[in-house]
Amino acid sequence: MIKILLVDDHKLVRTGVSKILNEVKGFKVIDECETGEEAIKFCRQTEPDVILMDMDMPGMGGLEATKKILRFSPEAKIIMLTAHTEEPFPTKVMQIGAAGYLTKGAGPNEMVNAIRAVNSGQRYLPADIAQQMALSQFKSVEENPFSELSDRELQIMLMITRGEKVPDISQHLNLSTKTINSYRYRMFEKLNIGNDVELTHLAIRHGMINTEKL
């Protein structure tokens, strides 16, 4: 039996995915969490075989939650389930140690195949995402300036564009406001922008954020 933890802030998504997976022989969704913080707490007490982790959630979000879970449980098998299809997200997610990357446009069969693959010790990437990752090394910074950001800067970018303020980001990431602002201003320099509004506009233009969640 493959024990699955489902992490997503939308109840409708959790309900639909749980229904699909619980109907697959040998699969069982053992719990659902709606934030990264909840997922971390759960994984400290129970070890699911596979974790389906949404990237965009209130609070620390999926990137930070994945990093924290892998710190105390390096063998955890986490599939990032996200609406983001553009680089540099797939590359960053795999670099921090996730076992797979799956877009929310995937069908039920692909989700099942991804879970089976990572549970057996393989890494999973859809063919189009793998091709995009391979081609991204030939793209210039002008084509996608966000490729220059670190995974921490990308996480803070997502939180800012969701409307979270520096004190809240500081609390969720357990970093000082001074550190958050240092990341923020370094990000502005790399992207050649001056404020959070310009950051949001640039992120939308390059497909870095899911506008349905704004």
Which residues have a Cβ under 8 Å from the Cβ of 211 and sit 6 or more positions away? 204
Choose the final residue of a domain: 86, 117, 136.
136
pLDDT of 128 reads 85
Predicted pLDDT of residue 135 = 66
Q: With 80 as the cut, is the pLDDT of residue 69 above it? A: yes
Same structural domain for residues 111 and 177? no
Query: Distance between CA 50 and CA 119 in Å, rounded?
Result: 6
Indicate whether 182 and 77 sit together in one domain.
Answer: no
Identify the CA nearest to 9 among candidates 42, 57, 52, 43.
57
Q: What is the pLDDT of residues 145-201, one digit of tens each?
A: 888 888 889 889 989 988 899 999 999 899 999 999 999 999 999 999 999 999 999
Tell me how far apart the alpha carbons of residues 39 and 51 are, in angstroms, rounded to a whole number: 9
Q: Within a 10 A sphere around the Cβ of 180, how many other Cβ atoms?
A: 23
192: CATH: 1.10.10.10
Same domain, 47 and 130: yes
> Is residue 109 domain-shared with residue 150, that is, in the same domain?
no
CB distance 49 to 31 below 8 Å: no
Residues 19 and 106 in one domain: yes
Q: What is the mean pLDDT of residues 75-103?
A: 91
Give yes or no: residues 156 and 119 share one domain.
Answer: no
pLDDT, tens digit, for every residue of 100-148? Answer: 999 988 999 999 999 999 999 999 999 888 887 776 665 555 577 888 8
Which residues make Cβ contacts (< 8 Å) with residue 175, sequence separation at least 6?
169
